Amino acid sequence: MSATYVHGYHRRENERLQDQAGTLVDLLHSDTSYPAGSVILEAGCGVGAQTVTLAQRSPGARFMSVDASADSVAEAKRTAEAAGLTNVLFQQADIFDLPFAPETFDHVFVCFVLEHLSRPVDALAILNRQLRPGGTMTVIEGDHGSTYFHPDSSAAHRAIQCLVELQRQGGGNALIGRQLYPLMVEADLEAVHVSPRMVYVDSSRPDLVDGFIRKTFTAMIEGARESAIAAGIIGPDAFDAGVRDLYRTAEADGVFCYTFFKGVGEKRRRA
C-alpha cells in the first residue's frame, strides 16, 4: 500500500494534508463525536491530520490509530504529542493484517484511505469484523470527478485527470467518493447513510479561496507533476497550463466546486 501512495510522503504533502484538515475540519468532522469510554479504531491515520481533530472532539473516547507506514505513524505520534493528546495510541499495522481480535472496537473511522486501495470492499469487510454489533463505521472520501470551476478549462481537467490516472495505475480510485453507499452496503454494513460535503468557493469566501483552491486542491494536483510526466501521461507544458488555469479560478470572478462524501453505517446485530 505505502509503495503506491500516490500523493507521496513529502514534507509539502504533509503540510497540504494539515492545511486540508484545518480548512475543511468543520465541513467533514463537525458531526463526528464519540461517547466517553468508547474505543475507536482509526484505520489509515497517515500523518495524523484527522487524528488530532477526532481525538480533540471526543476527549472521553480512546483511539487506536494505525497506518501501514511506520514513518507516517511516527509523524502522527509527534503531531499528537505536540497537540497534547492523551487519548490516542498509535501502532503500525496494515488494514489487511490487523493485530486486533474481532469485535474489539465500538467504532471505526476511515478517512481518505479507500481511494488508495484496490480492494476497498474487502477492507471495509475486514474493518466491519473489528466492530462490535451495533457499532458504527464512518468513512470519508473525496471524488476528483466532482471538480468543476469557472472559468472552465479543458487543460485544468486534463491536469486533474493525471492524478486520477496515476491513482488508477497504483490500484486506487480517485473517483471513489460517489461509490461510498454501494461499497458500504456490499461490505454488509446496515443503515448506511451517505451525505455529500460540497466545498463551494467564490471570492466572498477568501479563506477557502486560499485554503482550498490554492493550498489544498491545486497544491495536490501540482504535487503529481513529476510522476505524471515521468509516467508519460502528460507533457510539462500541458500540465503547467492546467495548473495555471486552476489557480486562475482563485481570482475575483472565479468559482470552484469539489465534493467529499461521508458515509456512516452500523455493524449488523446478531439475529
Binding site for a copy of itself (CB under 8 A): 143, 145-146, 148-150, 152, 175, 178-179, 181-182, 185-186, 192-196, 198, 200, 202-204, 252-255, 257, 259
Distance CA 168, CA 176 (A): 11
Distance CA 88, CA 41 (A): 10
What is the phi-psi region of residue 101: left when phi exceeds 0, alpha when psi lies from -120 to 50, beta otherwise?
beta
For residues 58 and 179, which CB has a smaller minimum distance to a copy of itself in the complex? Answer: 179
Distance CA 102, CA 105 (A): 8
Question: Within 10 A of 203 (CB to CB), how many other CB atoms are there?
Answer: 13
Distance CA 130, CA 104 (A): 6
B/e letters for 15-33, b = 16+ CB within 10 Å, e = fewer, are ebbbbbbebbbeebbeebe
* Nearest approach, Cβ of residue 236 and a copy of itself (Å): 27
For residues 77 and 267, which CB has a smaller minimum distance to a copy of itself in the complex? Answer: 267
* Nearest approach, Cβ of residue 163 and a copy of itself (Å): 16
For residues 9 and 148, which CB has a smaller minimum distance to a copy of itself in the complex? Answer: 148
For residues 96 and 200, which CB has a smaller minimum distance to a copy of itself in the complex? Answer: 200
For residues 158 and 178, which CB has a smaller minimum distance to a copy of itself in the complex? Answer: 178
* Nearest approach, Cβ of residue 212 and a copy of itself (Å): 14
* Nearest approach, Cβ of residue 149 and a copy of itself (Å): 7
* Nearest approach, Cβ of residue 6 and a copy of itself (Å): 19
The set of cell numbers assigned to 170 is 497504483
